[in-house]
């Protein structure tokens, strides 16, 4: 694996010469708008012939030699990836990188809001081999619990199935361009309305040929916590062998009265759902103080809490295909795709810095007299965050959302993972 961080004085030509690749291939994989323009701190990715690198948390009775056998590698290769490691003093919980021909296997889910289905079809064809599920964000619900269609999903369902990606009907308590606590609260507290929602969901799923449902009910009123659990149990009973995928806000402790996380009973949801996706995104959020969108230290705290209540083999974490640009004076915020954020750094001539504690890049630039700060992700930060999936034995990850380009990621996945 080759991830190269551009240094002062380097050019694409010199980097291409060092790695024996072409400038065109570097530009293509990394989505560079201006093939000959790079900046210090820019992370470039290009596949090479090296082994994928697995990431492992040491447990009791582990030895370097046992790990070498398990991962079909050699002690010397493990030593080369872990300078200074003492093979006779491994610590429980110690993180070890292991070059191995055995790729990490996982299940992935990508979200798509099908505003322009015809343009997304081409994208889906390019990345379908990196997806297990496609959650099609096309549905909301009425106050009586009747699901209804917001955006045309027919063409994308058909193409998803043709490409062997399981389409999931995604429903949100979304109205007037925002999540409505009142809407979902009224439906969940009423047994008749809950049943209406289940019946209407099953009708759409059967009619359109979905492989299941992805639930994204946000800001559920905390008093509806038990009602939400009941709804999920009733829905799973109706779904049978079809997939019940449930998205929940990330948390590191249970605060049942909290308006954002209080309604999510991780243990109960983990028992009934086939997959639980913890939304480890938007730690840094629009109009809030500038912060990483998905800092790795926070993601790991969320994972450790979650696997105490949810089977890790049911658990997905979330990775953002976007970053945020904050205007310093008032924290007004604009979102960019990860490729867009990278190219904003290029066009503004900024230096990209890296927060090692958060495993997240950032940069600043000026728009006239206004200073901006941008937190985003690149392939080196995704590499570190993918390691969490390996270390904790998780099911996989979700991506919000697939219309946002990040070509480095898909090339990286082709080289390093088996997508189930």
* Token pair listed for 103: 């790729």
Task: Give the per-residue pLDDT at 35.
Answer: 63
| pLDDT, tens digit, 9 for 90 and up, residues 187-226 | 999 999 999 999 999 999 999 999 999 999 999 999 999 9
% of the chain with per-residue pLDDT over 90: 94
Mean pLDDT confidence for 31-47: 88
Query: Residue 91: is its pLDDT beyond 90?
Result: yes
351 confidence band (pLDDT: 50, 70, 90): very high
Q: Where in the chain is the domain with CATH 3.10.350.10?
A: 53-99
Q: Where in the chain is the domain with CATH 3.20.20.80?
A: 107-322+397-408
Mean pLDDT confidence for 342-362: 97
| pLDDT, tens digit, 9 for 90 and up, residues 328-338 | 999 999 999 99
| pLDDT, tens digit, 9 for 90 and up, residues 291-320 | 999 999 999 999 999 999 999 999 999 999
Task: Give the per-residue pLDDT at 365.
Answer: 98
66 confidence band (pLDDT: 50, 70, 90): very high
218 is catalytic: yes
Burial 291-305 (b: 16+ CB within 10 A, else e): bbbbbbebbbbbbeb
Mean pLDDT confidence for 376-389: 98
Average pLDDT of the chain, as a whole number: 96
Q: Taking the CA atoms of 353, 44, 112 and 224 in sequence, report the sign of the dihedral they define.
A: negative
Neighbour tally for 2: CB within 10 Å: 16
- Looking at the domain covering 107-322+397-408, what would its CATH class be? alpha beta
pTM: 0.95
Closest C-alpha among 185, 275, 277, 276 to residue 231? 185
% of the chain with per-residue pLDDT over 70: 99
Task: Give the per-residue pLDDT at 362.
Answer: 98
118 confidence band (pLDDT: 50, 70, 90): confident
Query: Residue 1: is its pLDDT beyond 70?
Result: no
Angle between helices 407-416 and 379-391 (to 10 degrees): 40
Q: What's the full length of the chain, in residues?
A: 420
Task: Give the per-residue pLDDT at 34.
Answer: 62
Mean pLDDT confidence for 357-370: 97
Task: Give the per-residue pLDDT at 309.
Answer: 98
Per-residue 3-state assignment (H helix, E strand, C coil) for 141-192 = ECCCCCEEECCCCHHHHHHHHHCCCEEEEEEECEECCEECHHHHHHHHCCHH
Is the Cβ–Cβ distance between 395 and 60 less than 8 Å? no
Is the Cβ–Cβ distance between 288 and 354 less than 8 Å? no
Catalytic residue selected from 143, 218, 300, 301: 218
Neighbour tally for 173: CB within 10 Å: 22
* Backbone φ and ψ of 90, nearest 5°: -70, 140
Alpha-carbon span 155 to 157, nearest angstrom = 6
Task: Give the per-residue pLDDT at 77.
Answer: 96
* Token pair listed for 243: 């997939």
| pLDDT, tens digit, 9 for 90 and up, residues 384-411 | 999 999 999 999 999 999 999 999 999 9
Alpha-carbon span 170 to 112, nearest angstrom = 9
Mean pLDDT confidence for 233-241: 98
Query: Residue 173: is its pLDDT beyond 90?
Result: yes
Query: Residue 36: is its pLDDT beyond 80?
Result: no
CATH superfamily of 53-99: LysM domain (3.10.350.10)
Give the SS3 label for residue 61.
Answer: coil
Alpha-carbon span 66 to 54, nearest angstrom = 15
Task: Give the per-residue pLDDT at 356.
Answer: 97
Question: To 10 degrees, the CA torsion angle through 233, 238, 242, 245?
Answer: -30
């Amino acid at each position: 694996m080759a991830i190269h961080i551009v240094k002062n004085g380097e050019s694409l030509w010199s980097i291409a010469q060092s790695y024996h690749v072409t400038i065109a291939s570097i530009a293509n994989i990394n989505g560079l708008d201006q093939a000959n323009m790079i900046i210090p701190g820019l992370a470039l990715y290009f596949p090479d012939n090296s082994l994928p690198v697995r990431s492992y948390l040491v447990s009791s009775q582990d030895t370097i030699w046992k790990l070498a056998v398990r991962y079909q590698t050699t002690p010397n290769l493990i030593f080369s990836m872990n300078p200074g490691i003492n093979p006779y003093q491994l610590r429980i919980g110690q993180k070890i990188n292991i070059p191995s021909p055995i790729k990490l296997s996982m299940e992935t889910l990508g979200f798509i809001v099908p505003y322009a289905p015809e343009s997304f079809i081409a994208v889906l064809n390019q990345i379908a081999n990196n997806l297990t599920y496609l959650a099609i964000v096309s549905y909301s619900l009425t106050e009586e619990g009747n699901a209804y269609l917001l955006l045309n999903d027919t063409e994308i369902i058909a193409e998803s199935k043709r490409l062997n990606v399981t389409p999931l009907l995604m429903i949100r308590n979304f109205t007037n361009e925002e999540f409505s606590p009142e809407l979902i609260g009224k439906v969940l507290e009423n047994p008749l309305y809950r049943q209406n929602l289940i019946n209407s969901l099953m009708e759409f799923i059967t009619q359109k040929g979905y492989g299941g449902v992805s639930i994204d009910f946000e800001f559920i009123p905390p008093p509806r916590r038990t009602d939400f659990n009941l709804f999920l149990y009733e829905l799973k009973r109706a779904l049978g062998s079809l997939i019940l995928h449930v998205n929940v806000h990330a948390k590191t402790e249970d605060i049942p009265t909290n308006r954002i996380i209080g309604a999510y009973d991780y243990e109960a949801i983990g028992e009934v759902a086939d997959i639980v996706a913890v939304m480890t995104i938007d730690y840094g959020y629009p109009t809030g103080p500038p912060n990483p969108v998905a800092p790795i230290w926070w993601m790991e705290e969320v994972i450790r809490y979650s696997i105490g209540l949810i089977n890790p083999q049911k658990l997905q974490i979330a990775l953002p295909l976007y970053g945020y640009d904050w205007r310093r004076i008032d924290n007004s915020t604009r979102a960019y795709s990860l490729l867009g954020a990278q190219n904003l750094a290029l066009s503004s001539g900024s230096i990209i810095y890296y927060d090692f504690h958060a495993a997240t890049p950032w940069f600043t630039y000026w728009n006239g007299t206004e200073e901006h700060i941008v937190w985003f992700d690149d392939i080196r930060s995704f590499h570190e965050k993918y390691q969490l999936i390996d270390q904790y034995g998780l099911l996989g990850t979700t991506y919000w959302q697939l219309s946002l380009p990040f070509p480095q990621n898909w090339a990286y996945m082709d080289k390093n993972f088996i997508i189930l």
